[in-house]
Amino acid sequence: MAKNQDFGDDVAATRGDYVARGVVTAHPISARRAAGAYLWDAVGRKYLDFVGGIGVLNVGHNHPAVVSAVQQQLESFSHVCFQVVGYDPYVRLAARLSELVAPGAGYKSVFLTTGAEAVENAIKIARGFTNRPGVIAFRGGFHGRTLLGMTLTGMSAPYKQNFGPFAPDVYHAPYPNAYRGVSTEDALAALQTVFDTQIAAERVAAIIIEPVQGDGGFLAAPPEFMQGLRALTQQHGIVLIADEIQTGFGRTGKMFGFEHAGIQPDLVTVAKSLAGGLPLSGVVGRADIMDAPQPGGLGGTYGGNPLACAAANAVLDIFEQENLLERSRKIGAQLRHGLESLRETYDEIGEIRQVGAMCAVEFVTDRATKAPAAALVQRVLDAAREEGLLLIKCGVERNVVRFLGPLTVSDQDVAEALQMFGRALKATMQVN
């Protein structure tokens, strides 16, 4: 093989020779370029991208403002490590996020590289502040693939496999899911049972929750559950961590998902759409909690990379200039209307979930039993790709299709995506 060989459209065929099989690629195509809501593969075929790198591209592919910001920063320096010398994009981003997460409250930040790294650091900070060991997460939640991240993750397959033993002092409680018969009252009672039978509340450092579960199926925690959780954590001196890695930066129609419940978390983890496609994550939180670790206890060689920080500052500018929060709500309303129309035709559509532009469809074999239809979902995804629409699945049973189009997408493109999805459903159901 030539040193700089270009595999082109042979990537899917040759990747097995060089890439570990544990890295799954949802679609057997190879990207060549992308712009806005569109992606072109190696043979020039155009796709409407409603995956966005798994919710990373809320401002779309290659937004000109992000590209310009990165180019300008690259002309100055690409890396110096914030733990060696400081730089303005990092500090400016920290100040802006503080005001977005908790206006006027003086929150502080630390920047890292991946979502899992943000989660690990949030737990580390909470333990350092409380001097307690325990952490409670929720069934169906996803918090990363590192040792602590997959321990916190409330799904066994495919994330845990034979990778144990797992991190100690992590406990799981049921997450509210009215469609599956788990009410807010049930979930809060189950959490009390964890305190009564597994770990006393005074030994719990943190409770971590996704305000809307991402990989778990786009399940939104009811406001009353989030409010009950906030009251409970305050009662027992437990740090409440909102994992906003997928919900953050406008996906739910507000900048952060926790805002829908009218609560204020102690710590917030951010990543994905923070930097418009560049790897950047962070923890934003109360100053007294964030300052618990001693100097040298936080950081990382690439954490808060200047290129990524420049991109993130551009992303925040775009949100202000293009009114993307309002756009998110309009996209969500358009998607829900179109998907509800399809639900009238197909009994296999069990439930439609939508908070802002965070939208998903759960497929079942029939609405009476609500039995998950995972195999059907895969066929739908394949058929949608043939129509020119890229989507991915989620849910503990992998029977949910999620829509993660950019918040910059046009009404026309949303309408086209719904038409493609409708044709994919028709083709799939005809085959059945």
Per residue, the 3-state secondary structure of 22-75, as one string, reads: CCCCCCCCCEEEEEECEEEECCCCEEEECCHHHHCCCCCECCHHHHHHHHHHHH
Between CA 209 and CA 250, with CA 99 as vertex, the angle to 5 degrees is 55
Q: How many helices (H) and strands (E) does the chain have?
A: 13, 15
Cβ pair 229, 157 in contact under 8 A: no
Confidence at residue 1, expressed as pLDDT on a 0 to 100 scale: 46
Look at residue 2 and tell me whether its pLDDT is greater than 70: no
What pLDDT, in 10s, does the model give residues 376-397? 999 999 999 999 999 999 999 9
- Which pLDDT band, with edges at 50, 70 and 90, does 4 fall under? low
Cβ 354 vs Cβ 332: under 8 Å: yes
pLDDT over 70 (residue 372): yes
Q: What is the pLDDT of residues 398-432, one digit of tens each?
A: 999 999 999 999 999 999 999 999 999 999 987 55
Architecture of domain 65-322: 3-Layer(aba) Sandwich (3.40)
CA atoms of 157 and 146, how far apart (whole Å): 15
Q: Which amino acid is at 345?
A: T
Q: Counting every residue, how long is the chain?
A: 432
State the span(s) of the chain assigned CATH 3.90.1150.10. Answer: 8-62+323-431
Report the pLDDT value the prediction gives residue 203, as an integer from 0 to 100: 98
Helix axes 324-343, 306-322, angle to 10 degrees: 70
Q: Does domain 8-62+323-431 have CATH number 3.40.50.1370?
A: no
Tens of pLDDT, residue by residue over 174-224, are 999 999 999 999 999 999 999 999 999 999 999 999 999 999 999 999 999
Q: What is the CA radius of gyration of the chain?
A: 21
pTM: 0.95
CA distance linking residue 243 with residue 227, whole number of Å: 16
Residues of the chain with CATH 3.40.640.10: 65-322
State the residue for tokens 């998902």. Answer: 257
User: For residue 285, which of 81, 111, 72, 407 has the smallest C-alpha distance?
Assistant: 111
Strand partners, 355: 358
Band of pLDDT at residue 19, cut at 50, 70 and 90 = very high
Query: How many CB atoms neighbour CB 47 within 10 A?
Result: 22
CA separation, residue 243 to residues 24, 144, 248 (Å): 24, 11, 9
